Amino acid sequence: MIRNDVAITPELVKEHGLKPDEYERFVKLIGRTPTITELGIVSAMWNEHCSYKSSRIHLRGLPTQAPWVIQGPGENAGVIDIGDGLACIFKMESHNHPSFIEPYQGATTGVGGILRDVFTMGARPIAALNFLRFGEPDHPKTRHLVSGVVAGIGGYGNSFGVPTVGGSVGFHPRYNGNILVNAMAVGLARTDEIFYAAATGVGNPIVYLGSKTGRDGIHGATMASAEFDDASEEKRPTVQVGDPFAEKLLLEACLELMKSGAVIAIQDMGAAGLTCSAVEMGAKGNLGVELDLDKVPTREEGMTAYEMMLSESQERMLMVLKPGMEKEAEAIFHKWGLDFAIIGKTTDTLRFVVKHHGEVMADLPIKELGDEAPLYDRPHLANTHQPTIAADTVKPPVSHAEALVKLVGSPDQCSKRWVWEQYDHLILGNTVQVPGGDAAVVRVEDGPKGLAMTTDVTPRYCEADPVEGGKQAVAEAWRNITAVGGLPLAITDNLNFGNPERPEVMGQFVGCLRGISEACRALDFPVVSGNVSLYNETNGQGILPTPAIGGVGVLDDVTVNASVAFKREEDALILIGETEGWLGQSIYLRDICGREEGAPPPVDLVAEKRNGDFVRQLIRSGQVDTVHDLSDGGLALALAEMTMASKIGAVVASAPEDLALHAFLFGEDQARYLLAVNPDEAADILYEAAEIGVPAMVVGVTGGDSLILPGGEAISIETLKAAHESWLPDYMAGKA
Amino acid sequence: MKARVTVTLKNGVLDPQGKAIEGALKSLGVDGIASVRQGKVFDIELGTADKSQAEASLKAACEKLLANTVIENYRVELT
Amino acid sequence: MKARVTVTLKNGVLDPQGKAIEGALKSLGVDGIASVRQGKVFDIELGTADKSQAEASLKAACEKLLANTVIENYRVELT
Amino acid sequence: MKSAVIVFPGSNRDGDVMRALRQAGSQVEKVWHAETELPKGTDLVVLPGGFSYGDYLRCGAIAGRATVMDAVRAHAARGGLVLGICNGFQILCESGLLPGILMRNANLKFICHRQFLRVERNDTAFTRAYAKGQAIDVCVAHGEGNYTADTETLKRLESEGLVAFRYSDTNGHVTPDANRNGSMNSIAGIYSDKLNVLGMMPHPENLIEDLVGGTDGRGLFKSLVSSFAKAA
Ligand SMILES: Nc1ncnc2c1ncn2[C@@H]1O[C@H](COP(=O)(O)OP(=O)(O)O)[C@@H](O)[C@H]1O
Ligand SMILES: [Mg+2]
């Protein structure tokens, strides 16, 4: 058993991840040597994950305001007003490291954690998304990781009962040692029934709800206990196991309790469990907190204060209840078969006091635990700019058709059906657009509103130019929402980077954030929640900078939306946006020419907004129902995807004369959309576009059973589909 | 040759299944059950009669697939 | 008192999971595995020290819940 | 018509089926699993989809033994209608109301996709609104939908016409490709001997509106409601 009077040695401090000066700072703050429990508490509060010590000063620059923002970053999740008294509550979060160690459980607990963040605020989750990056397909671990992560995401979401409607899957050697598993949840609540973490009122009961506490995920403790444990036991795994069943019960019980009016404040126990949740509730409400650990429901015997404070057991909540409502609350929780225990109270001392067996195990200033956490402005190096690659220096393919078939069947561009068929994407009966399109579209309750949502970033752009890459990530999310007819409202971000102590990595971080901020400002697309995951690095090799953006938008009438599938033969194909044929950092350059280089396409935010607003208005007015935004693989890939989504082919008769064909087809210029419109409408649309300076041109026509490229090369829909649908299942079956 | 592989959760790892079963037994009125932890067994027929070869195959099977050694222990018995 | 209950599929009942594991082992290059059938074990702690009482509880647990006796057999061992 | 939708801890398509029942014109009441009786005047009992008790142990096993199931059994014995969808089908098998069992899908994975079913007969309370042999477009979402039964049972189901739906292609042809979970005889749903209990893996309740994919699922709920309109 870990006693509380353990001598605090420099080794112990180091094992808790505190730098000597950070420890000194803590000792000065409390005016004495901490107890082991206190050391555990501060190590949890001051680690990168909880304190954001390397990122905080940079995050301050993000735009977080808009008239429709009800709650920006800082709460469990962001909240936006979507009209009619309804709020959309959403957030994205990473579970990268746990998923690499144990892909199934790592992914389940990631999904569980983000769902909890959303329903903690009083929202019922209505959709989930995920953003996944794995190492190169040939890496010996990749298949196992893909299989486990996907099964885990499905295993949790399916059982919990939320449709998983979208996401992104990609492969790159830079993720060989650090995969990315980012999960996003979107929920719905009434704007006047949102719950927050700040406690109010002195002497109010603090209640523990949900599953029991075990020794799950106590990282420091495993090391510490090797020294202090007399009983020699097997080395405990630090992996947490998710229990979606318990979470579903917790959801129902929490929502029922919230309706009863008994809840003053609520906070889920996520990272650093009881410590973080209790400190946050107190500190945000300017109150002290006193906990009696004898009351905490435990799953294992002989748990110490240290262990209880650091346990990351899942499916648990902390609440401050209205006094006098304890009985009612308890009845609700027992009905759902969950634990309920009053484990403490709010105080007016501004101290965080933890008692166990009648002894004080920790007594710390509650506000300073958060406010006085270290804050670093780490040195950052701006990235050297990569040269612009002129299209005429890039080799054209022997056959454009073959190049396209190769791309649609490549690991990154192939169909991810194998993944999303393992997710229940239809439950709740509101999924209007299933995975495979630009953004998922989900009806809000019984309509008429809908929500559009997507997760995006192009890491190779971010690596080549963090600022442009950051902008592009936001612009692409905005564009995907626009392409289905949604009005983009706000984003959540999940900033996955390498080791912030390396100036190049910090430079990527700062650059990406600058780009994100610029784009969010220009597009009126504020950040309302997010997550930072640093130290994604193995053997000195960091991941590609990957600030995943989760965007949400609203459709006032969800029946008026656009999708990528061609609807009719003989529709005119209109390309919106300027096409220069930008091949630097393109998928063509990487996957056909084997060159991952050059500057990424620049993002013109004014053009983005103008072009996107134009397209959205066409959708909303009912003039256009078939839209795809252009991103990886450019025009050719968009055409192929639109063809494959229907059973209708297309003919692109010619390319502009001043443009090499491969640059026209595969260039990744930004701010572009491809529309398929009734030929009678085409002239009007071109005229309207010209009026407001939106570049638009007819590039082809729908029809037939193949895609015919300029010059006459034809690819049958079947050929495209076979390539597109087969790579991932074959790979997972060990055949590719 | 035949073998039985038993895979059980390591100590301290949450077992949601066991927990649910415990609850169900209680509500079914089955008394006297204090706790339940669920594991798996694999009954395996081996193509070989060579004991050490069999053991090597079984070990490989456990490490590569049958057990998730991050959270599970396994035991092999030749029967 | 502790017990282990082992639940296995009856002979003749198809075991898709076992089949899939067989296949997976082959593709992982684990040789010499002719067939696999998967079952479950339950490690149970009993609240009683009385053997016959324990056995009665365990039998009730198996019949009422742990095994689907249409397709499964069970075995109880007190440990 | 009055329907009682039983809610177990872990049920999660209760809301979906309630929506479909209401749309078809049924009154609907939720019934908590710990109840001992059904609401007065219940015509139809529905066991909804989901993961009752986490589907831990075996799918539907724990729910199949819940208190309320005695009342459901009594209702069925009186000739009352019972519909079990997905997890509800699993519960019906585990509770002895239907024969056989749902095993892990052949590929061992959860699968969610659109799926055609062939309606095997249209002279039951559940399928009147369909044509015999019609292929209907619904969806599946399950990890354990692989219908398995012993040879005897299978023979009896077939010879007595108790197979309700089979996985088929768009034209109603029962093909191996259409049977993705590996069910014996491509069985997607079965009736009890008296045709008053139906268990099915697919989700007709998720295809009741054009906006979210189609309306082929409506027929089932319309059939149920109309059989009561006739009876009344
Ligand atoms: N992990 C996933 N979960 C669910 N859907 C996914 C996942 N990965 C990809 N998809 C779906 O596949 C489609 C194509 O993905 P992607 O190529 O990333 O789209 P885009 O280029 O429009 O951002 C999207 O609709 C996306 O929702
Ligand atoms: Mg897109």
For residue D230, what pLDDT is reported? Answer: 58
Give D205 Cα–ligand 2 centroid separation in angstroms.
Answer: 30
Per-residue pLDDT tens digits for A662-671: 999 999 999 9
Q: State the nearest Cα–Cα gap between A119 and chain D, in angstroms.
A: 16
Number of Cβ pairs < 8 A linking chain C and chain D = 33
Tell me: is residue A312 an annotated ligand-binding position. yes
Closest Cα to atom 6, ligand 1: which residue?
Answer: A167
Choosing from D86, D94, D120, D142, the catalytic residue is D86
Closest Cα to atom 24, ligand 1: which residue?
Answer: A436
Do B11 and A233 make contact, defined as CB atoms within 8 angstroms? yes
Q: What is the ipTM of this complex?
A: 0.91
Give A565 Cα–ligand 2 centroid separation in angstroms.
Answer: 13
pLDDT along chain A (736 residues), means of 10: 78 91 95 94 90 93 97 95 97 94 93 96 98 97 95 97 97 96 98 94 94 80 36 56 94 95 92 90 94 94 91 93 94 92 96 95 94 91 90 95 98 98 98 95 95 98 97 98 98 96 96 98 98 91 96 98 97 98 98 97 98 98 97 98 97 93 98 97 97 97 97 97 98 85
Tell me the whole-structure pTM to 2 decimals. 0.94
Do D62 and B21 make contact, defined as CB atoms within 8 angstroms? yes
The number of folded domains in chain A is 1
The number of folded domains in chain D is 1
Residue A147 sits at the chain D interface (C-beta within 8 Å): no
Q: Which of C32, C40, C61 is the closest to B25 by Cβ?
A: C61
Whether A604 is in a domain gets the answer yes
For residue A2, what pLDDT is reported? Answer: 60
For residue A226, what pLDDT is reported? Answer: 36
Q: State the nearest Cα–Cα gap between B41 and chain C, in angstroms.
A: 5
pLDDT at D231 exceeding the cut of 60: no
Separation of alpha carbons D105 and D85, rounded Å: 16
Q: Which of D16, D54, D205 is the closest to A245 by Cβ?
A: D54
The number of folded domains in chain B is 1
Do A248 and D203 make contact, defined as CB atoms within 8 angstroms? no
Question: Which residues line ligand 1 at a C-beta cut-off of 6 Å?
Answer: A 130, 132, 164, 166-169, 416, 419-420, 435-438, 440, 456, 480, 631-632
Tell me: is residue A130 an annotated ligand-binding position. no
Residue D211: CATH number of its domain? 3.40.50.880
Could you list the residue range(s) of the whole structural domain that residue D153 is in?
2-231
Give D26 Cα–ligand 2 centroid separation in angstroms.
Answer: 41
Q: What is the DSSP letter of C6?
A: E
pLDDT at C24 exceeding the cut of 90: no
Separation of alpha carbons A494 and A543, rounded Å: 14
Per-residue pLDDT tens digits for A450-490: 999 999 999 999 999 999 999 999 999 999 999 999 999 99
- Which residue type, as a one-letter code, is found at position A314? Q
Whether A714 is in a domain gets the answer yes
Residue (of A386, A406, A412) closest to A593 by Cα position: A406
Ligand 1, residues A420, A431, A442, A586: which to mutate, most atoms within 8 A of Cβ?
A: A420
Subunits close to B (at least 3 CB pairs below 8 A): A, C, D
Starting from the CA of residue A436, give the closest ligand.
Answer: 1
Residue (of A450, A478, A406, A430) closest to A722 by Cα position: A406
Closest Cα to atom 20, ligand 1: which residue?
Answer: A438
Residue D25 sits at the chain C interface (C-beta within 8 Å): no
Tell me: is residue A204 an annotated ligand-binding position. no
Residue C37: CATH number of its domain? 3.30.1280.10
Residue B37 sits at the chain C interface (C-beta within 8 Å): yes
Give D230 Cα–ligand 1 centroid separation in angstroms.
Answer: 48
A512, A467 in Cβ contact below 8 A? yes
Could you list the residue range(s) of the whole structural domain that residue B63 is in?
2-78
Residue B48 sits at the chain C interface (C-beta within 8 Å): yes
Residues of A designated as active site: 49, 95
Do A429 and D112 make contact, defined as CB atoms within 8 angstroms? no
Tell me: is residue A591 an annotated ligand-binding position. no
Could you list the residue range(s) of the whole structural domain that residue A621 is in?
562-736
**Can you tell me the mean pLDDT for C9-32?**
85
- Please report the sign of the dihedral spanned by the C-alpha atoms of residue D210, residue D213, residue D216, residue D217: negative
For residue A227, what pLDDT is reported? Answer: 36
Do C65 and D107 make contact, defined as CB atoms within 8 angstroms? no
Tell me: is residue A55 an annotated ligand-binding position. no
N-term to C-term CA, chain B: 7
DSSP assignment of chain D, as one string? -EEEEEE-TTB-SHHHHHHHHHHHT-EEEEEETT-SSPPTT--EEEE--B-GGGG-SSTTTTGGGSTHHHHHHHHHHTT-EEEEETHHHHHHHHTTSSSSEEEPPTTSS-EEEEEEEEE--S-STTTTTSPTT-EEEEEEEES--EEE--HHHHHHHHHTT-EEEEEE-TTS---GGG-TT--GGGEEEEE-TTS-EEEESSBGGG-SBGGGTBSTTHHHHHHHHHHHHHH-
A329, A321 in Cβ contact below 8 A? yes
Question: Which chain C residues touch D94 with a CB distance below 8 Å?
Answer: 68
Do D110 and A244 make contact, defined as CB atoms within 8 angstroms? no
Residue B38 sits at the chain A interface (C-beta within 8 Å): no
- Which residue type, as a one-letter code, is found at position A570? E
Q: Over chain C, what is the mean pLDDT?
A: 90
CA angle A127, A133, A139 (to 5 degrees): 140
D55, D23 in Cβ contact below 8 A? no
Atom number of ligand 1 nearest to Cα A413 = 17
Give A456 Cα–ligand 2 centroid separation in angstroms.
Answer: 9
Residue D139 appears among annotated catalytic residues: no
